Amino acid sequence: MENTKILIIGTGAWGTALAISLHNAGKNVALWGRRKEHVEKLCADRESTYLPGITIPETLSITNDVAEIAIAKLLLWTAPVQQSRELIECLSTHMPQDCPIVVCSKGLELQTQKPISEIFKESLPNSVGMLSGPNFADEIAKDLPAASTLAFKDLELAKNISYVLRHKAFRVYAYDDVIGVELAGALKNVIAIAAGIVMGKNFGQNCLATLITRANVEISRIICALGGERDTTQTLAGIGDLMLTCSSEKSRNTSLGISLAHGLSLEEILNTRKNITEGVPTTKVAFELAGKHKIHAPIICAVYDILYAKKPIDDVLEELFSTQHDRELE
């Protein structure tokens, strides 16, 4: 698959960063956007509002032409999860059926509780995989060293595509648990909101480490209940992504939690943001999944109580801290 024609769908921070990184590594890549006016602005300015201060190379192709989709040999999907179903329906007739699709977006559809791979399968026969790991977009765009997990049901396909995507600054490891990787990538955004609350309340590093560890157990329970593998929580897509997102204010979800802890309402925070904070809709889905499968997930439930039940943060934290099992991993 050398010199494979790669097309990245979505001109947000992550899609743009991946395009820059792959282009700088000499890959045959182009960036595709749905909104013509936004694409034209990117072409003219060579800088994205989602990645301020980072220059897009003049030689990187940015397009709105659907004909580019038809000739792609590998599609990377970075469109926001909650907008993906509509976009998939619009573009499905242009997607070659022998073209593998790599989902790079993290989240679960609010209405159906499904990951994007399942949405693709409803309308397309393509092989669909998932790329996920501890990757902040700005660092990827700057070619700082990073790594990620690439999961396809067909492990050999995952290996082949990993060779296409990897380069000196970006390692890609093949894996075969697609649902586990998708769930880990989505659910860590919920935990990141909790991590932000811990930071905003100045509860300390001990508390943050405890939160991340206990949350990883909750994520593993949901992964297993939905047919994934427990070991997935130990991958770059699992504990790697969870640790990064929960330990840095650069995370949109963590920063949202910090703002909540400082007394701002959810509405006030979201109204000031350009980028989508996927942890908010995913919290509702995660809470519903935990209830449906009778999974003990107190951290996820606590975040739901704060965001959706509108319970006071201090009351939720008091209840969370006052409940404990005698044995770990229960």
**Which H or E run contains 139?**
helix 137-141
For this structure, is 310 an active site residue? no
Give the span between the Cα atoms of 103 and 85, in whole angstroms. Answer: 13
Give the span between the Cα atoms of 197 and 297, in whole angstroms. Answer: 17
Phi, psi of 312 (to 5 degrees): -60, 135
With vertex at residue 234, the alpha carbon angle to CA 307 and CA 252, rounded to the nearest 5 degrees, is 30
With vertex at residue 106, the alpha carbon angle to CA 251 and CA 18, rounded to the nearest 5 degrees, is 75
Count of C-beta atoms within a 10 Å radius of residue 73? 16
Give the span between the Cα atoms of 208 and 202, in whole angstroms. Answer: 10
Q: Tell me 149's DSSP state.
A: E
Please enumerate, as own/partner, the contacts of 174-177 that have beta carbons within 8 Å and a separation of 24 or more: 174/150, 175/149, 175/150, 175/151, 175/232, 175/235, 175/237, 176/151, 176/152, 177/151, 177/228, 177/229, 177/231, 177/232
The three-state (H, E, C) secondary structure of 220-283, written as one string? HHHHHHCCCCHHHHHCHHHHHHHHHHHCCCCCHHHHHHHHHHCCCCHHHHHCCCCCCCCHHHHH
Q: To which residue do tokens 């282009």 refer?
A: 23
Reported as half-sphere exposure (CB side, CA atoms, 13 A), residue 314 has a value of 2
The residues pairing with 171 across neighbouring beta strands, listed in sequence order, are: 147
Q: At what angle do helices 178-200 and 205-225 cross, to 10 degrees?
A: 150
Residue among 121, 188, 294, 310 flagged as catalytic: 188
Q: To which residue do tokens 């492990």 refer?
A: 155
**Which H or E run contains 62?**
strand 61-63
**Which residues carry out catalysis?**
188
